[in-house]
Chains A and B, each alone.
Chain A
Amino acid sequence: KAGVTQTPRYLIKTRGQQVTLSCSPISGHRSVSWYQQTPGQGLQFLFEYFSETQRNKGNFPGRFSGRQFSNSRSEMNVSTLELGDSALYLCASSLGTADGYTFGSGTRLTVV
């Protein structure tokens, strides 16, 4: 079966711009989580969506937002980009915690 698909794989943006990243979960998975990974901070939890509702949120500023559609696909948006937002953004989908989380290949965002 198809895995978790993240698009685009690479992205270069300018400071002050906004960006939207997409994540298509495994068919049947209703939970989608987003993570930011940087060399300095490691893998940090952004938010989790389940059945179109945000269920959990990490400690990130309001410039980071997300949403989930009725088909479970999810998008995250970062507004007013800063250099420090350069990172690998990963999403993971799950049926439930007992079933584990499957990760996508990530989107590498570079802010210049």
Chain B
Amino acid sequence: SQELEQSPQSLIVQEGKNLTINCTSSKTLYGLYWYKQKYGEGLIFLMMLQKGGEEKSHEKITAKLDEKKQQSSLHITASQPSHAGIYLCGAVNAGNMLTFGGGTRLMVKP
């Protein structure tokens, strides 16, 4: 089965700082999703990447897919307390199953 490993597992940054979260797959990525979750709540869709080299941005969040390395990165510029939460990467495997990495817990200190 496809495994997704996220790093770091947790991150504490000062407000205004930039940060990067990585997601590495054990198998070829057919599509990569990024979600954000507030504790105990549902997942909020951030972005979906499908093509190698693809890069998408939404407000201060940018995600890239490096298909050759089977890796994706999520970059947040000038972090704010509203960015705090758990970031999850998910991937669809050949069997059309969406599975997730272990998550990265982000805290932003004001």
Q: Residues on A close to B: CB < 8 A?
A: 4, 6, 33, 35, 42-43, 45, 48, 55-56, 58, 88, 90, 92, 97-98, 100-106, 108
Contacts and interface: CB of A to CB of B under 8 A. Distances in A.
B58 to A, nearest CB: 13
A33 B103 CA distance: 19
B48 interface: yes
A98 B97 contact: no
Given A100-B45, A106-B40, A45 B99 contact: yes
Interface in B37-70: 40-45, 48, 50
A98 B98 contact: no
**Most-contacted residue by chain A among B40, B45, B92, B96 (CB, 10 A):** B96
Interface in B73-97: 88, 90, 92, 95-97
A74 to B, nearest CB: 15
A98 B50 contact: yes
B42 A105 contact: yes
A102 B96 contact: no
How many of chain B's residues touch chain A, expressed as a range?
A: 20 to 34
Given A56-B97, A92-B98, A98 B31 contact: yes
B102 A97 contact: no
B96 A55 contact: yes
Contacts of B100: 35, 42-43
A47 B48 CA distance: 21
Lowest 8 A-B CB distances belong to which pairs? A103-B43, A103-B42, A43-B100, A105-B42, A56-B97, A42-B102, A97-B92, A100-B48
